[in-house]
Amino acid sequence: MKANKKAVIAIFLTFIVGLIGGYYYGHKSLTSGSVCILNGGGATSEVPASAKNFAQTALKIDLLKDYTDFVLLPKEKIADPVKYADMMGAKVKTINDSDITAKFYATGEIADKEQKILDFLDLLNGKIKSDLQ
């Protein structure tokens, strides 16, 4: 059990480093001169690929933060765990990555739950790192 806690802490620290790197590179890419303008219908016109990638990466970082909170915080700190899990499921659906989706829903299974949680956090961390490179 201590090894699992150390792994979760290591992943959480990696998340913090990724968050700082994402802020730096995201801020750098947003100040590159691209401007996203909304038309009257609310749809974006000609969103640069870098902005789409930034939004996907930001969503993955947000999902990693939410899931880490969900796993590490005492259940009393989360007002409605079902609603919280549904919110994370909506983020997974928006990210639209088959690996992330499969690993996310596998964490709900009873067998080897701790390992599946670690696998999901590791996969999400790896995807965020590759997005930031």
Kindly report, residue by residue over 29-56, the tens digit of the pLDDT. 555 544 444 444 444 445 555 666 788 8
Q: For a pLDDT cut of 90, what percent of the chain falls above it?
A: 1
CA distance 56 to 47: 13
- Answer yes or no: are the C-beta atoms of 48 and 40 closer than 8 Å: no
Residue with tokens 């928006």: 94
Residue with tokens 């480093």: 17
CA angle 64, 42, 37 (to 5 degrees): 85
Q: What is the pLDDT of residue 16?
A: 75
What is this structure's pTM? Answer: 0.57
Question: Which is nearest to 124 in space by CA: 51, 82, 62, 49?
Answer: 62
Domain count, the chain: 1
- Residue 72 sits in which domain range? 2-132
69-99: pLDDT as tens digits: 888 877 777 778 888 888 888 988 988 888 8
**CA dist., res. 128 & res. 58, Å (int):** 9
